[in-house]
Amino acid sequence: MNSSSESVRLYWIYTLLSLVGIVLFLMFKPEWFWVMLPPFFTSFVKAQRWM
């Protein structure tokens, strides 16, 4: 495996962890769920190789 696919895999892991964070925030502190949106969208865009 080359480093490009490893970095994409890492960004997918960050995306999934951020999604879990969004769900947890929505369950326990719904007014603060937006705090997890920037890391979620940033890691998603990097995982898709759009940036």
For residue range 1-51, list pLDDT tens digits in order.
566 777 899 999 999 999 999 999 999 999 999 999 999 999 999 999 998
Q: What is the pLDDT of residue 1?
A: 58
> What's the pTM value of the predicted model, to 2 decimals?
0.84
Q: What is the pLDDT of residue 13?
A: 97
Q: What is the pLDDT of residue 18?
A: 97
Range of the domain at 29: 3-47
CA angle at 28 for the pair 12 and 11, rounded to the nearest 5°: 10
Number of domains in the chain: 1
From CA 27, how far away is CA 9, in angstroms rounded? 27
Q: What is the pLDDT of residue 43?
A: 96
Q: What is the pLDDT of residue 2?
A: 64
